[in-house]
Amino acid sequence: MRILLPPSEGKTPVTTGAAIRLDELHFPVLNAARSEVMNALAQVSATENALLHLGVGASLGAEVARNIRLGTEPAAAAHSVYSGVLYDALGYRSLTAAQRRKADESVVVMSGLWGVIGFADRIPAYRLSMAVSLPGLGRLAAYWRPRLAAAMTEFTAGQLLIDCRSSTYAAAWTPPAAQTVTVNVFQERDGKRTVVSHFAKHTRGELARELLVRPGRSPRTPEQLLTVVSAPEFHDRWQAELVPGTQRKSHALNLILRNPTR
């Protein structure tokens, strides 16, 4: 089993510790591209129009300024740097040692800056969306797409991939359809289904946690995943349904929330 997450928009700043070392990250084949993006990001972040170019407000000026010195900023495990609704629901800190090892082995995060990284890889806090276009590189989703293909195909070979990315990050890599389940979250009112970002993020984090803390063998097929998330203990949280994939389109696990206001 592999779980693919998006990064959080917000990052928890790291105040102490050694700086990032690219040669310690997972997927070393991406290191040349990572350096190229880091350099382009630093140059943009040092300009007068940095906030506008990166699509952020004035309140995030300090985060953008940090982009200039990412090579020397303190770094920490990705699961502690990424924060927000999804990562709070996953709750890495409250996992047991065995569950943390499982998370470190199976969870990866797609990033506009790093391409994709392991859950325990050490990174500094930064500000960059996959939707941004950097001078000389273009839009990052298009930049990363050919570079991620080989690394991710190898990482997911023979594994069920549970894809929890948002559309912004899904644009950077299309996984093998037959072995991939895309997680969709809906709330339903008066027979109409809608997506609410907050609840979708929270539920994907809950789902990832349940798969990490569940004893025994991880699901290996979309049908086994559906069986796991349809267990009685989840009936008060969601209704689960599996939409079979096609030759080009991955399977879809739809979670329809029972009580989205809780």
Q: What is the pLDDT of residues 126-180, one digit of tens each?
A: 999 999 999 999 999 999 999 999 999 999 999 999 999 999 999 999 999 999 9
The whole-number pLDDT of residue 12 equals 95
* Helix/strand/coil (H/E/C) assignment for every residue in 220-252: CCHHHHHHHHCCHHHCCCEEEEEECCCCCCCEE
Residue 28: what pLDDT?
Answer: 97
pLDDT(226) > 60: yes
Given a cut of 70, whether residue 36 has pLDDT beyond it is yes
pLDDT value for 258: 86
- Tell me the pLDDT band of 191, cut-offs 50, 70 and 90: confident
Q: Is the dihedral of CA 58, 60, 66, 68 positive or negative?
A: negative
76 pLDDT above the threshold of 80: yes
Residue 261: pLDDT band by 50, 70, 90 thresholds? low
Rounded mean pLDDT of 219-246?
Answer: 96
pLDDT of residue 250: 97
Q: List, as one string, the DSSP characters of 197-225.
A: HHHHHHHHHHHHHHHHH--SPPP-SHHHH
User: Does the structure show a pLDDT above 80 at 262?
Assistant: no
What average pLDDT does the chain have?
Answer: 95
Stretch 111-126: mean pLDDT: 98
pLDDT tens for residues 87-116?
999 999 999 999 999 999 999 999 999 999
Residue 257 clears pLDDT 80, i.e. is over it: yes
Q: Is 136 helix (H, G, I), strand (E, B) or coil?
A: coil
Mean pLDDT of 49-68: 94
The mean pLDDT value for 13-31 works out to: 97
Q: State percent of the chain over pLDDT 70.
A: 99
Nearest to 172 by CA among 114, 234, 243, 223: 114
**Per-residue burial over 111-132, b = 16 or more CB atoms within 10 Å of its CB, e = otherwise:** bbbbbbbbbbbbbbbbbbbbeb
Q: pLDDT-based confidence at 260, cuts 50/70/90?
A: low
Return the pLDDT at 63: 92
Q: Give me the pLDDT at residue 197, please.
A: 86
